[in-house]
Amino acid sequence: MRVRATEGDAEPSNAEPEEEFVPMQPPLATDKPNPWKAMEVTSVGPELINGRMAMVAFVALLGAELSTHETLVQQFMEAKNEVGLLVALFTVATLVPLWRGADGKAVGPLNRQAEIWNGRAAMIGFAATMWIELNTGHALF
């Protein structure tokens, strides 16, 4: 109910204006964080995991070839279980910080962007070494 004065000398009403009725809505359910969101194509998780594995694999490949002169395929066939364990370990070690919401900010040269570029270079180096060894039939190093 609204009261309006028609004359300028009328006293203002002490009645409070009616408020519009707005129905209450139930509180929004908070979405639980999806731990596998870190593995989406647009996320940084897959590239970090693959890059880290490529860096480890390239260094291991280089060391093993220099010491044994075996090809990449021969090295892999001799250490399948160890390679699988290493992949699982690095995958978990990469995903846990992403699940906990790590922002990836670091100071200095060892930041996430440097790791991504080093991982990309290692992936290219690993793939190139594999291609050369498969086409020549002997170890590159």
7 part of a folded domain: no
**115 touches 51 (CB < 8 A):** yes
124 part of a folded domain: yes
- With 60 as the cut, is the pLDDT of residue 31 above it? no
24 part of a folded domain: no
98 part of a folded domain: yes
Q: What is the pLDDT of residues 32-87, one digit of tens each?
A: 667 778 788 888 888 989 999 999 999 999 999 999 999 999 999 999 999 999 99
103 part of a folded domain: yes
77 part of a folded domain: yes
Q: What is the pLDDT of residues 88-131, one digit of tens each?
A: 999 898 888 878 876 666 767 888 889 999 999 999 999 999 99
Look-up of token digits 């290219």: 124
Q: Which domain holds residue 112?
A: 35-136
129 part of a folded domain: yes
**What are the E-state strand segments in 1-141?**
none
Closest CA to 73 of 133, 20, 29, 116: 133
22 part of a folded domain: no
Closest CA to 90 of 122, 67, 64: 122
Look-up of token digits 């009261």: 3
The model carries a pTM of 0.67
Number of domains within the chain: 1
For residues 68 and 60, give the distance between their C-alpha atoms in angstroms, rounded to a whole number.
Answer: 12
For residues 54 and 48, give the distance between their C-alpha atoms in angstroms, rounded to a whole number.
Answer: 10
